[in-house]
Amino acid sequence: MVKIAPSILSADFCNLERDIQRVSTADWLHVDVMDGMFVPNISIGVPVVQSIRAHTDMFLDTHLMVEKPGRYVEAFAKAGADLLSIHLEADMPPAIHAALDQMEALGVKKGIVLRPITAAEAVVPYLERGLDLILVMTVEPGFGGQSFMADQLPKISAIRALIDRHCPGCRLEVDGGVNAKTAKDCIAAGADVLVAGSAIYGAADIPAAIAALRG
């Protein structure tokens, strides 16, 4: 069963509680954290995650677009994130492993993220140690509302095969330019969690848009 994770990057931050309630028929809530260094944009941080946690029971799928993300694992875990995903490109491999160790120790689910340039094979050492999620970016991270990069579909299929071989419980999430049409391609390639910002918050009928993404 595919899970849908609306990205609150497309919400109205002055009406965040209302906009979280509007996506209550979805499964997870996708929270985009941007530091202005790993990506050019700055979005939200630890205090906002803490406030969201106090107002919803939804699973908080927290995407850290942050340099040296190990610096912030403890703070986001304590703020109430259920899952933290960190970019492989954001630090050297030993530091990425150390950040994942920290997530395990804190009891938060752990994920890794690949920018479009990063090859599928890069995930193998992480799958071998055990992961809860791999996130494949289908836009350059930093902004909502960009077009889906269809050239990432073979990478999604390749990672699906690697997950099935090394770590079958791991979920495969896709983020960037996902709409009712591209969602079908992602599901066919083996994705089982779909992030969508503009396709959900830009829709006149949000529950219908969420249902359409399920395929």
Tell me which residues are annotated as active site: 32, 175
Question: How many Å apart are CA 57 and CA 73, to the nearest integer?
Answer: 20
Footprint (CB under 6 A) of ligand DX5, residues 114-173: 139, 141-142, 144-146
Q: Per rule CB under 6 A, is residue 22 in the interface with ligand DX5?
A: no
x-or-dash string of contact with Zn ion, 144-183, rule CB under 5 A: -------------------------------x--------
Q: Per rule CB under 5 A, is residue 63 in the interface with Zn ion?
A: yes
Could you tell me where the DSSP H helices lie in the chain? Answer: 16-21, 46-55, 73-79, 93-106, 124-129, 153-166, 180-189, 198-201, 206-213
**Number of residues this chain uses to bind ligand DX5 (CB under 6 A):** 21
The residue to which tokens 């950040």 are assigned: 99
- Each as own residue / partner, the long-range contacts of residues 88-91 (CB below 8 Å, 24 or more positions apart, any chain) are 88/112, 88/113, 88/114, 88/118, 88/122, 88/123, 88/126, 89/38, 89/114, 89/115, 89/117, 89/118, 90/38, 90/64, 90/65, 90/66, 91/67
Q: Per rule CB under 6 A, is residue 32 in the interface with ligand DX5?
A: yes
In angstroms, what is the minimal distance from the CB of 91 to ligand DX5? 18
The residue to which tokens 């890794």 are assigned: 112
Structure tokens at 194: 């779909």
Q: Per rule CB under 6 A, is residue 19 in the interface with ligand DX5?
A: no
Which member of 81, 86, 176, 183 binds ligand DX5 (CB under 6 A)? 176
In angstroms, what is the minimal distance from the CB of 132 to ligand DX5? 18
Q: Per rule CB under 6 A, is residue 195 in the interface with ligand DX5?
A: yes
Which member of 156, 177, 193, 210 binds ligand DX5 (CB under 6 A)? 177
Question: How many Å apart are CA 177 and CA 170, to the nearest integer?
Answer: 23
Strand partners, 173: 135, 193
Structure tokens at 206: 């949000």
Q: Per rule CB under 5 A, is residue 87 in the interface with Zn ion?
A: no
User: Taking CB within 5 to 8 Å according to partner kind, which of ligand DX5, Zn ion, none is near residue 138?
Assistant: none
Which spans of this chain sit near ligand DX5 (rule: CB under 6 A)? 7, 9-10, 30, 32, 63, 139, 141-142, 144-146, 175-178, 195-199
